[in-house]
Amino acid sequence: MSMDDGELEQLFRDLESDRVERKASDSDRNKIRQAICAFANDLPNHRQPGVIFVGVNDDGSCADLTITDDLLLRLADMRSDGNILPFPVLTVSQKAIDNCEVVAIVVEPSDAPPVRFNGRTWIRVGPRRATATPEEERRLNEKRRAGDLPFDLRPFPSATITDLNLEFFQQSYLPFVLAPEVLEENRRSLTQQLASVRFTTPEPDLYPTVLGILVVGTDPKQFVPGNYVQFLRIEGTELGDPIKDQKEIDGSIWDILRQLDEVLRINISVATDITGDAVEMQQPDYPIEALRQFARNAVMHRSYEQTNAPVKIYWFSDRIEIQNPGGLFGQVNRENFGRGATDYRNPHLAEVMKNLGYVQRFGYGIPTAKRALERNGNPPPEFLLDDTYTTVIVRRFS
């Protein structure tokens, strides 16, 4: 839902509106993040955007803030820095209203609340901004019944709660997601907890979602047949050459990512060189950090819908090819690919990978991998971008 300048000006002048917060500066960015989270959750169900004006005091007077490109970039970066999950939909722009220069952060209501900032669900009702109670969180869960949800949040009516590993969910996954004090309160039932992290639909239906099956399912491939990685180690440079090793890596997303790290690590060769001063120099043929980034990106960005194809990792004698089913998505195109542009076919799976520590910062995977290859002396990665798949080719250090 777009907001024109006339509506922005009206909200700017309305000191009573609960769709507006005012900040003199960005000195306390965490308070701004809390406000973004609260507007995205839209507990009052306004179904309209909320606005944070930066550069204006609480009483509506101008704070005379100097608006710079760096300030705009810092505020826009809050969308994808990984502190607010799932990703909020927001726009950041500079506006001049009543002779006052401000930054307007327009936050759209989320289709898939609750939205959390550092593991806490922030809401706003009237002048109150606070963390949500279990009852308020239940109301946010209920709002997910409608809307065009992405594939990773769609329910599996053929699955039941018994298809989820509930012990793993409670003991191993929840501590990664919720703030310690929220966990300590422990006033949410198991079904509320599952719905809150989008692993099931809200009660009374309580169907596991695609996300729940992928992350804590007891047998994810039963419901998502393409949820595995095909690994081939080939003695040669062509697919017809002898196969040295082959693996089918499957299980939950956590299982797959852990096994992937191990398979990549044990297949790297390290050459040792003793210099004239008896100093041992070790040179891997591939930097592990680059391979991890590319492999995790393939798992995160692949299409899990309408395909049974796996992620493929083919390790040849002179190169590694990593291919995932699913072409470029959303705002990412051939021109901005790998240059910090971000969009997510599976936004809530991306959130899970961030929670589990497999993503440090969104949009930085490919640049990080490129730097690791350059430091190790490998050629730059090559990308093959098709409508139905994406392939990265990493050449061996020699």
Give tens-digit pLDDT for 203-257: 888 899 999 999 999 999 999 999 999 999 999 999 999 999 999 999 999 999 9
Q: What is the mean pLDDT of residues 296-300?
A: 95
User: What integer best gives the mean pLDDT of the chain?
Assistant: 90
- Would you state the pLDDT for residue 185? 75
Q: Say if CB 118 and CB 175 are below 8 A apart.
A: no
Question: Residues 196, 281: one domain?
Answer: no
Residue 56 placed within a domain:
yes
- Domain end among 128, 159, 192: 128
Residue 142 placed within a domain:
no
Sheet (strand 100-107) strand order: 20-23, 50-54, 100-107, 90-97
Residue 136 placed within a domain:
no
Pinpoint the alpha helices (H) of the chain. Answer: 5-13, 29-41, 69-76, 134-142, 166-168, 174-177, 180-185, 190-196, 210-216, 220-223, 253-267, 288-301, 347-355, 365-376
Question: Residues 155, 298: one domain?
Answer: no
Q: Is the pLDDT confidence value at 140 over 60?
A: yes
Question: Residues 316, 383: one domain?
Answer: yes
Pinpoint the alpha helices (H) of 236-360. Answer: 253-267, 288-301, 347-355
Q: Which residue spans within 113-252 are E strands per DSSP? A: 116-117, 120-125, 128-131, 229-234, 243-249
Question: Residues 218, 233: one domain?
Answer: no
Chain center to CA of 6: 34
Chain center to CA of 220: 20
d(C-alpha 257, C-alpha 273), whole Å: 32
Entry pTM: 0.80
Q: Is the pLDDT confidence value at 279 over 60?
A: no
Q: Say if CB 257 and CB 358 are below 8 A apart.
A: yes
d(C-alpha 83, C-alpha 360), whole Å: 10
Sheet (strand 382-385) strand order: 243-249, 229-234, 311-315, 319-325, 389-395, 382-385
Chain center to CA of 324: 17
Q: Which of 107, 111, 117 is CA-nearest to residue 51? A: 107
d(C-alpha 304, C-alpha 324), whole Å: 10
Question: Residues 209, 237: one domain?
Answer: no
Q: Give per-residue pLDDT as tens, 347-382.
A: 899 999 998 989 877 778 889 999 999 999 999 999
Residue 322 placed within a domain:
yes
Number of structural domains the chain divides into: 3
Residue 137 placed within a domain:
no
Q: Give per-residue pLDDT as tens, 10-45.
A: 999 999 899 999 999 999 999 999 999 999 999 999
Question: Residues 280, 388: one domain?
Answer: yes
Residue 45 placed within a domain:
yes
- Would you state the pLDDT for residue 276? 54
Confidence of residue 148 (pLDDT cuts 50, 70, 90): low
d(C-alpha 255, C-alpha 261), whole Å: 10
d(C-alpha 282, C-alpha 272), whole Å: 5
- Domain end among 222, 247, 272: 222
Question: Residues 334, 391: one domain?
Answer: yes
- We report the CATH number of the domain holding residue 75 as 3.30.950.30
- Domain end among 222, 252, 273: 222
Question: Residues 163, 76: one domain?
Answer: no
Question: Residues 246, 365: one domain?
Answer: yes
Residue 140 placed within a domain:
no
Domain that holds residue 116: 5-128
Confidence of residue 273 (pLDDT cuts 50, 70, 90): low
Q: Is the pLDDT confidence value at 284 over 70?
A: yes
Question: Residues 217, 276: one domain?
Answer: no
Q: Is the pLDDT confidence value at 338 over 60?
A: yes
Residue 379 placed within a domain:
yes
Question: Residues 261, 162: one domain?
Answer: no
Q: Position of tokens 């609960």?
A: 18
- Would you state the pLDDT for residue 340? 66
% of the chain surpassing 90 pLDDT: 65
- We report the CATH number of the domain holding residue 305 as 3.30.565.60
Q: Is the pLDDT confidence value at 314 over 60?
A: yes
